[in-house]
Structures are given as structure tokens and as C-alpha cells.
Structure 1
């Protein structure tokens, strides 16, 4: 079986094994996670999905603190993967517009599910982080001898 299909009883174990063992080859799961997990790709996809066809500077303005170079690289990568299209108009000055492709819209639908999950669970995640920080702070306040004995007990 390759990284394109999952035939086992537990789909998630199959996905894990395939993504983990195909690090040096093309695995669609690792590949797309790599693309969308950079700092700007999801924002560009959300912006183009929400506002529609946009010119470079309009997209840069919507995203905010992205540099011109990073937006250029991000758009080039998304275009390379077939997620957006770039249309150049033969005008003076040249006009270039970007928009999601059908493939980009299909990814946007999945990213919307992720965004919903993140929004619905952000409070629980922040509470877990706060609890963990409190535990770490409490642990760091202990005298060194006590910390050492706790570490030995855990081993």
C-alpha cells in the first residue's frame, strides 16, 4: 500500500504509519500539511476564499503584516500546487489577479472544518495551557534537593 490509500482496520494508524515511513518520498498527507502549516498559506487561502479574486496589493493589505517577498513566495507555492490561479492581464501597468481554483476551494472547505474546531475548542486549550504553566511554575519553585528527589522517584 502507498500513501494514497488506507486499507487497515484503523485508518488513523494507517495514516500515521504511512506518513511516518514515507518521509523521504512524496506522501500526500505530509505534503499538504507541510504546505498549509507555514505561516501564511492558510491566511492566503482564507482571504481568497472569503473575498474572492484579488490583486496582489489587495491581498497583501487583507493579510496584514506579510512582507511582499513572503506573499510572493506563498502565492507561487500555492499556484505550484494548483490551489490558486494567477491571471496576468496585458495592460499597462500590468494587472495580476489571484483566485482559488476548484482544488483550492475543496481545501478551503476542509480548512473551514479545522477553523470551526479551533474556535470551538480554544478555551479548553487555553485552560490546559494555563494548568500546565501553573504546574511548571510550582515545580520550578521547589528547592533543588526536592526537585532532584522527585526526578529520581519518577525514574
Structure 2
């Protein structure tokens, strides 16, 4: 997790530093609807590789946006969900959905 001193001064730059790639945005989009296992996330994000999904989940977990719950079962079961901080991104995603829909209507 980045410290306050390591984060950019600008709040927009801070948000971009934490969630500013397409894979992180799509992972968060999916997790806003609930808890998922790794395979479910991979299936729900076409085009993402296992390595990229793993790397981005680790990054989101390190930044405190995603929680990882590993169960002591055989075979092992791991579930991912948004932390409370991650859930606070919901209004931003709602705005992005609204804007995206409006834009699609504009260019038709």
C-alpha cells in the first residue's frame, strides 16, 4: 500500500494511480456486484490472462481496495470481494456507466 507521501498531490492522479488501468476497472466493476472466485472473475473479463488478473488482484489487495479470503479446504477455495474502501468507488462507477450510456446514445 502506498503511503500518503507516495501518493500524488492531485486527487484525480491518486485515483488513477490506484485504479487507472482497464483491467483494474473491469475487476472492480465485477466485484461491485458481489464476491467472486478467481475463475469466475477470469471468465467475466474477456481477454484477461491469468497472470494479469493475478497481478492486478494483488495490487488492488495491497492498496486496500480488494479483500482476499482463502478457505482451508481441499481443493483450496479463494474468494475476492471489495473492501469497504473499494465499495466506496461505487458512485464513481455509477457516473461512468451513466456517461458511457449517454455517449453511446450521442454517437448513434
- TM-score between the two structures when normalised by the length of structure 2: 0.83
Q: Is residue 79 of structure 1 aligned with residue 61 of structure 2?
A: yes
Indicate the residue corresponding to 1:42 in structure 2. 25
- Computed over aligned residues only, the root mean square deviation of the Cα atoms, in angstroms, reads 2.1
- Kindly report structure 1 stretches of 4+ aligned residues shifted beyond 3 Å: none
Whole-angstrom distance in 2 between the partners of 1:100 and 1:26:
21
Whole-angstrom distance in 2 between the partners of 1:71 and 1:93:
20
Q: Is residue 102 of structure 1 aligned with residue 51 of structure 2?
A: no
Number of residue-to-residue matches in the alignment:
103
Structure 1 unaligned runs (5+)? 5-24, 128-155
Q: Is residue 118 of structure 1 aligned with residue 100 of structure 2?
A: yes
Contact kept in structure 2, 1:85 and 1:98, CA below 8 Å: yes
Structure 2 unaligned runs (5+)? none
Q: Indicate the structure (1 or 2) with the bigger Cα radius of gyration.
A: 1
Indicate the residue corresponding to 1:153 in structure 2. none
Whole-angstrom distance in 1 between the partners of 2:90 and 2:49:
23
Q: Compute the displacement of 1:123 (Å).
A: 4.2
Q: Which has the higher helix share?
A: 1
Q: Is residue 58 of structure 1 aligned with residue 40 of structure 2?
A: yes
Q: Compute the displacement of 1:109 (Å).
A: 2.1
Contact kept in structure 2, 1:60 and 1:68, CA below 8 Å: yes
Whole-angstrom distance in 2 between the partners of 1:63 and 1:92:
26
Whole-angstrom distance in 2 between the partners of 1:35 and 1:120:
26
Indicate the residue corresponding to 1:32 in structure 2. 15
